[in-house]
Amino acid sequence: MIIFATIIDDLKFTLHHTDPQSRARAGSMVTDHGTIETPIFMPVGTAASVKGVHQKELREEIDPDVILGNTYHLFLRPKIDILKRAGGLHKFMGWDRNILTDSGGYQVYSLSANRKIKEEGVKFKSHIDGSLHLFTPENVMEIQRTIGADIIMAFDECTPYPCDHQYAKRSMHMTHRWLDRCIAHLEKTPLEYGHAQSFFPIVQGSTYTDLRKQSAEYIANAGAEGNAIGGLSVGEPAEEMYAMTEVVCGILPEDRPRYLMGVGTPINILENIALGIDMFDCVMPTRNARNGMLFTAQGTINIKNKKWEDDFSPIDAMGTTFVDREYSKAYLRHLFAANEYLGKQIATIHNLGFYLWLVREARKHILAGDFYDWKTIMVKQMDKRL
Residues with a known catalytic role: 102, 281
**CA dist., res. 159 & res. 234, Å (int):** 9
Helices (H), 40-153: 55-57, 71-74, 80-86, 89-93, 105-110, 137-147
**CA dist., res. 289 & res. 42, Å (int):** 16
**Secondary structure of residue 248 in the 3-state scheme:** helix
Residues 288, 290, 291, 296, CA torsion sign: positive
Q: Which of 321, 324, 322, 327 is closest to 343 using CA atoms? A: 327
**CA dist., res. 66 & res. 259, Å (int):** 13
Residue 88, by phi and psi: left (phi above 0), alpha (psi -120 to 50) or beta? left
Q: What is the largest CA-CA distance in the chain?
A: 62
**CA dist., res. 232 & res. 226, Å (int):** 18
